[in-house]
A = this chain, B = another copy of it.
Amino acid sequence: MHCSRLLVGLAACFSLPAMAWERVLIDADTPAQNWRVTSEELGIKADRPFSVSLRTLHGGRQEGVSLIDIDNGAMTLTVIPTRGMNVLRAQAGDVRLGWDSPVNEVVNPAFIELNGRGGLGWLEGFNELVTRCGYEWVGHPGVDNGELLTLHGRAANIPASRVVLEIDEKPPYRIRLRGELQEKAFKKVDFSIHTELAVEPGATAFSLHDTLTNNGDYPKEYQALYHNNFGSPLLEEDARFVAPVKQVSPFNDKAKGDLATWQTYRAPTPDYDETVYNVIPYADERGDTLAILHNKAGDRGIAVGFNTQQLPVFSLWKNTDTQGQGYVTGLEPGTSFSYNRRYQRPLGLVPSIGPKEQRHFDVRFQLLADKVAVDKAVKQVDSLQAGRKTEVRQVPLVDLSKD
């Protein structure tokens, strides 16, 4: 334990394991309390002063929801411990990552019935930049093995049980925020998910590093999907989606109609609702790959990096309905598509995790702030595609007409 003189006045002092300050923000004995720490207080003379703060929301269905803001000097990230360590939004200058959901409260899971609305209760809280889906299942609601699987699983509605902030003592003073999700039910599932968000001061990038552990003694099916959602200003008419694509297919009959233009976006379109495209991406020899959303001018965008050995498939969710309805696109790497689990088993998209085994999921977000950055990322995609051909499959992988 080390209490620097510079820390006088802070609510607690910091332990010093290895080479990092660490502070437990929430655990069994530590209630979430309004709190803030700055690089200056930590004795760090950063080019870009940074701060991390914790606050709790009150009133409405957000009563008791904690938020953690990480302002790294270039970008402010807001994380929701109470909702699966989801990332509510990021703001870098005038670029907002995230979207405007009709759900404008940050809803405490205590007030949500996932089983309501025929398993669509999840929609009453959905408004994040990154919504974790899984890990027992993902996908549309429906009965599988005699049990109603609710939309996209429980992860987003599990409060993190231990939240720890760690800041490297040496440049680049990497900031890590960790939280643990317990996804458990006697006889059913014994998962824990160690989530980590990492960001460096001054960067307009951040990354997620999650580890799923099957604490159980039996192999167990699992699914993961990172529902990464972007609205304005990146999403606009003629914005483009760019990725190295081995196969693309329409999610359902509705998506067939727009298949020819699946990589560009419509303006907000009344009654459009949504189309979804199932993508099997190409990757490099280590499995690393990239998906890009950029605006029409090609001078602003976001690159989402992931690894196909961890997350082999990708859903492109194009919800280009009106602004009020939620004008948003999802760039969603996953173990699986968004069909109900019973449809994905025959596709080989319901993997298993052995007893005591772990699965890692790393997802990287890089803001593309200008044309040079966008062009460079698009070139990376070209190089990953490497001239290989794209199969445009006309027919959905799953026949939902019997649903």
Which residues of A are at the interface with B, using a C-beta cutoff of 8 A? 26-32, 56-64, 81, 101-105, 108-111, 113-118, 120, 123-124, 126-127, 146-148, 150, 158-163, 180-182, 184-190, 215-218, 270, 273, 321-326, 355
5 shortest A-B CB distances, which residue pairs?
A60-B161, A217-B324, A102-B190, A110-B110, A217-B322
Does more than half of chain A's interface fall in helix, strand or loop, or is it mixed?
A: loop
With the chains together, A249 CA to B202 CA distance in Å? 70
With the chains together, A101 CA to B29 CA distance in Å? 21
CB < 8 Å neighbour of A184 from B103, B147, B160, B321: B103
Measured between beta carbons, the chain B residues less than 8 angstroms from A27 are 58-59
A185-B103 CB under 8 A given contacts A64-B63, A146-B118, A325-B218? yes
CB < 8 Å neighbour of A147 from B58, B117, B124, B270: B117
Measured between beta carbons, the chain B residues less than 8 angstroms from A56 are 31
Contact A61 B113 (CB under 8 A): no
Contact B113 A114 (CB under 8 A): yes
Interface pairs (16), CB distance under 8 Å:
A28-B62, A59-B81, A59-B163, A60-B181, A60-B182, A102-B186, A102-B216, A103-B184, A103-B186, A105-B182, A105-B184, A115-B116, A120-B147, A187-B326, A217-B321, A217-B322
With the chains together, A190 CA to B324 CA distance in Å? 9
Measured between beta carbons, the chain B residues less than 8 angstroms from A115 are 113, 115-116
Contact A159 B61 (CB under 8 A): yes
Closest to A112 in B: B113
* A305 smallest CB distance to B (angstroms): 27
Contact A116 B117 (CB under 8 A): no
Closest to A163 in B: B59
Contact A216 B324 (CB under 8 A): yes
Measured between beta carbons, the chain B residues less than 8 angstroms from A181 are 60
CB < 8 Å neighbour of A102 from B28, B31, B64, B215: B215
A105-B60 CB under 8 A given contacts A185-B117, A270-B217, A325-B216? no
Closest to A57 in B: B28
Contact B30 A123 (CB under 8 A): no
CB < 8 Å neighbour of A30 from B58, B148, B188: B58
CB < 8 Å neighbour of A62 from B102, B146, B148, B161: B161
Closest to A218 in B: B325
Measured between beta carbons, the chain B residues less than 8 angstroms from A324 are 190, 215-217, 355
Task: Give 9 new A-B contacts, CB below 8 A, not counting A27-B58, A109-B111, A120-B147.
Answer: A28-B58, A59-B159, A60-B180, A102-B190, A115-B116, A120-B188, A123-B188, A187-B273, A217-B325
